[in-house]
Amino acid sequence: MTASQMRVDLLVVGFGKGGKTLAAAMGKRGFQVAMVERSEQMYGGTCINIGCVPTKALVHEADLRRPQDDAEDWYRHAVKNTSDLTGLMRGNNFRMLDTLDTVTVITGRARFADPHTVEVTAGADRLTVRADTIVINTGAEPVTGGFAIGGRVVTSTELIATPELPRRLVVVGGGYVGVEFAAMYARFGAEVTVLDHAPHILHREDRDVATVAADILRGQGITLVGEADVTDVTDLGSHAAVTYRQNGVSTTIDADAVLVALGRKPATADLGLDAAGVQVTATGAVAVDDHLRTSQRHIFAVGDVNGGPQFTYVSLDDHRIVLDQLVGAGTRSTADRVAVPNTVFLTPPLARVGLTETQARTAGHAIRVASKLVAQLAASPRPKIVHETRGLMKFVVDAATDQILGAALLCADAQELINLVALAMRHGITASELRDTIYTHPSSTEAFTEVLAGLA
């Protein structure tokens, strides 16, 4: 065993978006920085390696497949193309830090020894790193629900790396990840069944939005089973057997793969947070204040590990807050965030920002609602031009102020449209202004004019 020590100004544990961007920014300012990542396969973080980039690349590959294309060959090539892409980006992310003389990238498992000291182990080697400031950026990990992961029972991480297309895929969970994967694999040619404990998929969305999404999925041949309590998942070698109860009746179905998609939880196990005096919340996230400081003022937590929204772009904004604390005015905070959008990459995508209609009414808002099926848009030809007339566009507007409280866009280009709506919400642009703005033609944005004209 070899042991050594080093001292730095900033230590970042975890190569995710917020941490790596902060490490680069501080290194370029002349600070001595150490970045610790437990696996060289995770340089760049979750998004690049097992999250946003590979999954959205596979969604794109699935959309390109034509009915006459062999499903297994197409999928195998898609997985290889995606692996090549993530490998390229992983290398670029490593070089982004490794080429800075002030930054040292360390591969190994990190564990706090005390509030200022982290021990990094890699095999028989041990490195003790002492830092003035420490940032925890370890991300999140799949919730397995007690199911044994391995073989034919997988999380999204294993599934996207498997070059064999599962002809029969059972998805346990009808949330955002579950339905995105269900849609993707159905387009690759798999027979897909989604088992959801809730009465309907996407239970956080308004029922009308979720219903339209469900209709689209069923139109792709996907079987949706609501109020399904999965009682057993068994890997039988040649296939897996999934047993669930619905309305008191037990049913067993066979699958070539079972995707457990029950969400993700902060990755804090075995970090030695007790030794650092860092408190966690009831859900296991690192507890932070509005400036992302933990219970130790010199230790911050950014990204999924702090229990905030699990989006790469939120992690990026986390880095801005911490950088402002370290070398700026120290005024930026999570309280500054308004109208943070998100997208589920179905085909067409579902993007949302702000309050749902249900949330707005529950909060006591007097509201007006504008909603229209994409197929009913008369003055907006782009859906017909791109052969994507499925979906729904919906706005929730404050009745007194005309301010946009939220929007759900299930339509072509929704992942781009939602950013414009979010920007309008942040800057107080009213629904009437968004309706009456001049848009190019034919474009997806001009649909706002027609949809918002129907505010009731």
User: Is residue 45 within 8 Å of 168, Cβ to Cβ?
Assistant: no
Write down the pLDDT at residue 2: 65
Tell me the pLDDT tens digit for each residue of 214-264.
Answer: 999 999 999 999 999 999 999 999 999 999 999 999 999 999 999 999 999
d(CA 258, CA 104): 40
> Do 280 and 134 belong to one domain?
yes
41 and 19 co-located in one domain: yes
**CB of 174 closer than 8 Å to CB of 56:** no
* Whether residues 249 and 276 fall in one domain: no
Round to whole Å and give the CA distance between 392 and 449: 14
Residues 178 and 135 in one domain: no
Confidence of residue 375 (pLDDT cuts 50, 70, 90): very high
Q: What's the mean pLDDT in 385-395?
A: 97
Q: Choose the final residue of a domain: 202, 227, 262.
A: 262
Whether 449 has a pLDDT exceeding 60, the answer reads yes
Q: What is the reported pLDDT for 140?
A: 96
Beta strands in 52-209 (DSSP E): 103-107, 109-114, 117-122, 125-136, 140-142, 153-154, 168-172, 191-195
Round to whole Å and give the CA distance between 435 and 42: 44
**303 in a domain, yes or no?**
yes
Residue 147 located in a structural domain: no
Binding residue ranges for NAD(+): 173-180, 263
Biggest CA–CA distance in the chain, Å, is: 72
pLDDT tens for each residue of 67-79? 999 999 999 999 9
Residue 16 within a domain: yes
Q: pLDDT tens for residues 298-309?
A: 999 999 999 999
**Is residue 325's pLDDT more than 70?**
yes
Kindly state whether residue 213 falls inside one of the protein's structural domains: yes
Residues 125, 7 share a domain: yes
Does residue 393 share a domain with residue 254? no
Indicate whether 332 belongs to any domain: yes
Question: CB within 8 A of 289, min separation 6: which ones?
Answer: none
Q: What does the pLDDT average to over 168-194?
A: 98
Task: Supply the pLDDT for residue 456.
Answer: 74
> What is the reported pLDDT for 396?
98
Mean pLDDT of 131-148: 96
Last residue of a domain, one of 286, 305, 336: 336
pLDDT in tens, 427-439: 999 999 999 999 9
Please give the full DSSP string across 30-67, using - where no structure is assigned. Answer: T--EEEEES-GGGTT-HHHHTSHHHHHHHHHHHHH--T
Q: Which domain holds residue 289?
A: 3-141+265-336
Report the sign of the C-alpha dihedral through residues 25, 31, 32, 34, in that order: negative
Supply the CATH number for residue 371's domain.
Answer: 3.30.390.30
Please check whether residue 410 is in contact with residue 418, taking contact to mean a CB–CB distance below 8 angstroms: no
Compute the average pLDDT of residues 384-391: 96
CATH number at residue 32: 3.50.50.60
Q: Specify binding-site residues for FAD.
A: 56, 304
Task: Compute the average pLDDT of residues 417-445.
Answer: 97
Averaged pLDDT for residues 25-35: 98
Residues 8 and 137 in one domain: yes
Q: Average pLDDT of the chain?
A: 97
The pLDDT value given to residue 11:
98
246 phi/psi in degrees, rounded to 5: -140, 120
Residue 386 is assigned to a structural domain of this protein: yes
234 & 105 share domain: no
Residue 148 inside a domain? The answer is: no
Domain end: 241, 262, 283, which one?
262
Whether residue 378 sits in one domain with residue 232:
no
Q: Say if residue 1's pLDDT is above 70.
A: no
Specify the pTM: 0.94
- Does residue 352 register a pLDDT over 60? yes
Q: How many domains does the chain have?
A: 3
Portion of the chain with pLDDT greater than 90, in percent? 99
Same domain, 327 and 357: no
Which residues carry out catalysis?
441
**Is residue 64 assigned to a domain?**
yes
Tell me, yes or no, whether 123 and 269 share the same domain: yes
- Same domain as 410, residue 386: yes
Distances (CA, A) of 119 to 115, 124, 274, 322, 448: 11, 13, 14, 23, 54
Q: Which amino acid is at 107?
A: T
